[in-house]
Amino acid sequence: MNYTKMKKTLGAAGGAMLLTMFTAACDVTNPGPIQDEFLGDEAAQIGLINGAIRSIVNGYTDRAFDMALISRQVYPGGQIGAWGNPVHIHAGNVEDLYGANFTAMHQARFVAETAIQRFTAAEASDERMYGAHLWAGWAYRILGEWWCDTVLPTTDPSNTDPPEYIPGTTDPYFQRAVEAFTAALTYAATQDEMNAAYAGRAQANLWLGNWQAAFDDAGRVTDGFVQALDQDESESALFNYLWEANSGTFRSYTTKFTFYEDYYLQTGDSRVRWGTDPAYDFAVGSLSGFGQVPYKPMLKYTSRNDDVNIASADEMKLIQAEAVLRGASSGTVSEAMDLINGVRTAVMADVTNADGFVEAGSTPLDAWTATTSDEAWTYLKRERRIEMWLEGRAAPDERRWAATSAPGAIDLPDWENPSHPGYTPLFTQFTRGPFCFDIPESERDRNPNVPAIGG
């Protein structure tokens, strides 16, 4: 995998940017500083797009790990050191100022938007214009899902003025995402390129409550489509953090005590595969108030190189199902369940035993049956949390569903209950939520538009 690493120098227009080529298998000479005015040149264009992609890849899977803990998709092993998490994240709580990788995601959208400006002026190819708009869209979608408030340049595309602060909503991020994906569609040349832009726009429209638009966009994505982030073992910043933290060396979390532990044994649903490691009975740390945690590693990712989905055709069917339950299309429970079960019954059940995974199977999962809207909502929520397990999407879904008072239950283990085998006072000491990251202190200190905590 080839990436272009970009380090931008902030300051007056005309400043230099440094481009350093990274290749996993060979040594490459640093070309040194390239003047800002040449960044629109054809030879530099792919570097700008790769710079935006790298900023997202560099910051995604470690924060997806946080999201998995916050939404109780995994149980903390107690590790707070290397490849671990703060104690409050173990408990599912996002404290004030906890906003790691905020800068990386904003760098991604800045680099992509810079590329759009430079490519437009240079009359770049449709392929380059498509890539710049597409990755601006993904950066905005991730910012909108993961953060609580909006910090965004709204009037000055050159970013020389401090970005504006819009508290209590991330709709402006999703509106920008819709604009970026719509622009990408005008340059798309293949079905896969159209799939990616329609998928991203469907996700953003879902968050904006544009139910029919979300339904329509999701329906335009063809079966088998997947958009993934290309993780790589060439350097630790590009590792699949979810695998590395789960590996035998670090053992930072477990599927023990989660909904997925028993669900997998009951159904063999390969999307939430887990197993055991004969070399290790326990996670590497010791969880406050609990002690050593039984180690039952997830098997969704099996190496540092495993890519992480940020959109798929199966997710699109679930977006359509949710839109139907909110009144799009026919608005019937039957239509929603057909879409949900269309995803579910395409999955083959694993053969399992008490230790989890034994081998892949060839029997489809059974369909869900719902007769009421509330039942359909419960299955919709369950399927999203299964289909996108450990992809950084579950906690944002919780936030979105709570904000819209969506019906139906979520399969959450009751770790606050002293009778639960996974109970520790940690889970009552820190209240779970708010299912999104805060604006970090670094941004609050340098941006006069963003108030200090309590300010």
Name the DSSP letter for residue 439.
P
Quickly list DSSP for 66-134: HHHHHTTSSEE----STT---HHHHTTB--TT--TTHHHHHHHHHHHHHHHHHHHHHT--HHHHHHHHH
Euclidean distance between CA atoms 167 and 403, whole angstroms:
15
Contact 136, 112 (CB under 8 A): yes
Instruction: Sort residue 78 into left (φ over 0), alpha (ψ -120 to 50) or beta.
Output: left
Give the pLDDT of residue 4.
31
pTM: 0.91
The vertex-102 CA angle with 98 and 107, nearest 5°, equals: 165
Maximal C-alpha separation, the chain: 65
Name the DSSP letter for residue 333.
H
Strand extents, DSSP E, 104-254: 150-152, 164-166, 226-229, 253-254
Q: Is the pLDDT of residue 454 over 90?
A: no
pLDDT > 70 fraction of the chain, expressed in percent and rounded: 90
Q: What is the pLDDT of residues 138-158, one digit of tens each?
A: 999 999 999 999 999 987 656
Helical pair 191-208 and 211-219, crossing angle rounded to 10 deg? 160
Euclidean distance between CA atoms 246 and 252, whole angstroms:
6
* Cα-based torsion angle of the residue sequence 405, 407, 413, 417 in order, rounded to the nearest 10 degrees: 70
Residue 222 tokens read as 């063809």
Taking residues 18-41, report their average pLDDT.
Answer: 44
CA nearest to 398, candidates 63, 62, 70: 70
Contact 159, 8 (CB under 8 A): no
Residue 294 tokens read as 């039984």
Q: What is the pLDDT of residues 89-126, one digit of tens each?
A: 999 999 999 998 999 999 999 999 999 999 999 999 99
Q: Of residues 222 and 160, which shows the higher confidence score?
A: 222
Say whether the peptide bond before residue 86 is cis (omega within 30 degrees of 0): no
Give the pLDDT of residue 31.
46
- What's the whole-number average pLDDT of the chain? 91
Domain spans in the chain, listed from the N-terminal domain onward: 2-300+308-446
Euclidean distance between CA atoms 142 and 140, whole angstroms:
5
Helical pair 42-70 and 394-403, crossing angle rounded to 10 deg? 70
CATH for the stretch 2-300+308-446: 1.25.40.390
Contact 34, 19 (CB under 8 A): yes
Euclidean distance between CA atoms 324 and 332, whole angstroms:
7
Taking residues 18-39, report their average pLDDT.
Answer: 42
pLDDT > 90 fraction of the chain, expressed in percent and rounded: 86
Q: Is the pLDDT of residue 37 over 60?
A: no
Euclidean distance between CA atoms 427 and 454, whole angstroms:
25
Contacts of 118 (CB under 8 A, 6+ apart): 39, 40, 45, 48, 124
